[in-house]
Amino acid sequence: MTGKTDEALGYEQARDELIEVVRRLEAGGTTLEESLALWERGEELAKVCRRWLEGARARLDAAMAEESQEEDTGSGSE
């Protein structure tokens, strides 16, 4: 479940925390309970990152479509 805190995380913050979660999981030495909690946190952080990237992609696609439309109508500056 994504909380308000996760929604407020910036992409870089979520990515950095996700890197740390992965590092801790790869290092081992945690109990099953701790590992599951880390895995769940990692899944939530990955969702936050994915939402940021999808939003960025949508903005880029919209900007490219607008630019293409301007070129097609000849209203671009030459």
Give the C-alpha separation, 10 to 55, whole Å: 12
Question: pLDDT at residue 13 above 50?
Answer: yes
- Ordered by start, the domain boundaries in the chain are 12-69
pLDDT at 73: 83
What would the pLDDT profile of 32-74 be if each residue is shown by its tens digit?
999 999 999 999 999 999 999 999 999 999 999 988 888 888 7
pLDDT tens for each residue of 19-29: 999 999 999 99
The answer to whether the Cα torsion of 14, 20, 24, 27 is positive or negative is positive
- Of the chain, the end-to-end C-alpha distance in Å amounts to 51
Measured CA to CA, the distance from residue 55 to residue 63 in angstroms comes to 12
pLDDT at position 12, please?
A: 97
